[in-house]
Chains A and B, each alone.
Chain A
Amino acid sequence: MTVSTVLEAEDVRVIVEDRGYGVPAESIDRIWEKFYRVARDGQEKDEESTGLGLAFVKEVVEQHGGSVAVESEVGRGSKFSLALPRL
């Protein structure tokens, strides 16, 4: 998993990228919801997860006038990012 920081036109973006399982399409819109946990093709939902980590991230980022995003393809990996307005 790699973490990088890039400069865009108006924002600074932190990107977390992996080549893992990916997030199923039916979960992708709900992944930032409180208590939502992703199930991997019929497997048990992640035991360690509290379902709150990403909700916290979204809340902090939005409170700073930024936004969060996720792109993912099952079997190929995911790209999570957060963008905050540059000064």
Chain B
Amino acid sequence: MKSDMISLMSHELRTPLTSINGFSELLAVDENIPEESREFLQIISNESQRMSRMIDTFLSVTQLERADKKEVTKIALRLDEVAREAMVTMHPTARKKRIRLVEQAGGTIPPIAADKSLMTQALMRFWTTPSVTALSEPP
């Protein structure tokens, strides 16, 4: 599939999803809704949010795949510093998922050439992607 078609489709899919999610959340706070229906609404809301996340990530992957390597702005970055900053940004999630940053004692980490925003996003997804963290609960 052409990538501009994918972008277009992603945007088209997102609009109705926003309504589905918004209205299901609105209904869920209505006191006249019976308990069982409220559960169903929660499912509708969770699943539409998951679908939005899926579209967002799919779009990012597609954009990356077609991006010319020259389009990526690489600067000298220290990965341990990017990791520390990313951890601060996602602090509540990091705490919930019990992610702990291990600092290297001594020995400086040399820089790499990377796009800061992409690398930050990649690290955050690396830590929170449920296929990693769901598997990291104690057996």
Contact = CB atoms under 8 A, between A and B. Distances in A.
B97 interface: yes
Contact of B131 (A37, A75, A85): A37
Nearest to B137: A20
B119 A49 contact: no
B2 to A, nearest CB: 17
B50 interface: yes
Contacts of A14: 79, 83, 123, 126
B30 to A, nearest CB: 25
A86 to B, nearest CB: 5
B109 A64 contact: no
Interface string B77-114: 00110010001000000000111111010010111111
Contact of A86 (B54, B111, B125, B126): B111
Q: Which of under 10, 10 to 19, 20 to 34, or 35 or more describes the interface residues of B?
A: 35 or more
Contacts, number: 161
B126 A57 contact: yes
A56 B130 CA distance: 13
B127 A21 contact: no
A1 B69 contact: no
Interface stretch (B11-19, B20-28, B59-67): B59-67
Given A18-B136, A20-B135, A12 B126 contact: no
Given A16-B127, A56-B61, A1 B133 contact: yes
Given A20-B136, A48-B130, A56-B60, 14 more contacts: A1-B97, A5-B79, A12-B112, A21-B136, A31-B131, A38-B131, A46-B131, A49-B129, A53-B128, A59-B64, A64-B74, A78-B136, A86-B112, A87-B113
